[in-house]
Structure 1
């Protein structure tokens, strides 16, 4: 089984799956803390909200890019990703204030 997890393609697929799942969860958290409904505003054609949401996606993706580069295990990648997201959301509240 160790040989299975050491395969580079399996590691890439595992990292990708975990990052997509975390991205969905983190965007749901962003949806709860914003004053507006992101996806409803995007459907209405609100370009500013679409750009802000794109920035949030880019921020989370960048956090996970760094965690994938620095960590070898999925659990440590998720842990540091959550920590990075907490810092990102604190920064969001600071600039929103």
Structure 2
């Protein structure tokens, strides 16, 4: 059984599964923070919501990419991935706080592609910074 966890296929499948599960949980948490329902809006064709959600997915995946690259064990990767996600979440809240002249969620929910694009780029950019800092 010891060699089982050393098999690259098993390790890859385990990390993949954990990242998918964490992504679903993290997206559910993000959905609690937004004034709209991501998947309902995407189903209706709201491209702004799709961009903002896509940026969050990209951000989460990027953080886990660095977490997996820099850590030997699955548990360490999960720990750093969760920590990175918390930092991404804080960045999202700061973005909303720093733009008091408009409500980011409302603008994205109404289909404002410009606001959604900035939101997507903030998620992507922060993910690279967070990922580069992961130990």
Which residue is 1:17 aligned to? 17
Q: Residue 72 of structure 1: SS of its match in structure 2?
A: coil
The TM-score normalised by the length of structure 2 is 0.70
Gaps of 5+ in 1: none
Task: Please give the alpha-carbon distance, in whole angstroms, between the structure 2 residues aligned to 1:94 and 1:37.
Answer: 21
Structure with bigger RCO (C-alpha 8 Å, 6+ apart): 2
- How far residue 43 of structure 1 moved from its aligned partner, in angstroms, is 1.2
Counterpart residue number, 1:5: 5
Query: Which has more radius of gyration?
Result: 2
**Which stretches in structure 2 are left out of the alignment for 5+ residues?**
98-135
* Cα distance in 1 for residues equivalent to 2:14 and 2:25: 17
4+ residue stretches of structure 1 with deviation over 2 A?
A: none
Aligned residue pair count = 97
User: Once superposed, what is the RMSD of the aligned Cα atoms?
Assistant: 0.7
